[in-house]
Amino acid sequence: MLGGMGVAFLLTPAVALADPCKAIPDRGPAPAHLSPGSTFRGPVTYVGDGDSLCVGLAARPDQWVEVRLADFYAPELSAPGGREAKQALERVVRGKTLTCIAGRRSFDRVVADCRLGSASVGDLMRRAGVAEGGNGR
């Protein structure tokens, strides 16, 4: 039988400590197919925050590309509006197929211009009413 602490623990949502996107290694070169100017396409498999997501190039997480949106700077998750920005990005793109053009590398991710159809993801976020305000601005 669980006491109050056990029930509280079970009802507390888990916090993801690391993203599952592993196509770009933490150290070492990025794969050639993700070099600046290259185009990649796939469904959004994961949303990390209001301006970071994973594009799945295959079913395995080692083929999921972590993308930092080049044209939108969301508030950090811990800042006011950060959680709402993440939820909005999930509504806008989760499970949908994006076409992205890789830019520079930023840690274990690529900064990219991504589009859903003919619209940029940044424009879609602004149309959804999400205010910018992250560290990129």
CATH of residue 42: 2.40.50.90
Residue 57 lies in a domain: yes
Residue 1 lies in a domain: no
Q: Are 44 and 124 in contact (CB under 8 A)?
A: no
Per the structure, the count of domains in the chain is 1
Residue 137 lies in a domain: no
Q: How much is the pLDDT for 46?
A: 94
Residue 4 lies in a domain: no
Distance CA 129, CA 137 (A): 17
Residue 94 lies in a domain: yes
Q: How much is the pLDDT for 21?
A: 86
Residue 134 lies in a domain: no
DSSP state of 134: S
Q: How much is the pLDDT for 134?
A: 61
Residue 27 lies in a domain: yes
Q: How much is the pLDDT for 5?
A: 43
Q: How much is the pLDDT for 18?
A: 66
Q: How much is the pLDDT for 25?
A: 84
Residue 12 lies in a domain: no
In DSSP terms, 52 is beta-bridged to 49, 68
Three-class secondary structure of residue 22 per DSSP: coil
Distance CA 92, CA 25 (A): 27
Domain residues for the domain of 58 are 19-127
Distance CA 33, CA 41 (A): 11
Along the 137 residues of the chain, how does pLDDT read in single tens digits?
A: 444 444 333 333 334 446 788 888 888 888 888 999 999 999 999 999 999 999 999 988 889 999 999 999 999 999 999 999 999 999 999 999 999 999 998 888 999 999 999 999 999 999 999 989 866 54
Q: How many helices (H) and strands (E) does the chain have?
A: 3, 6
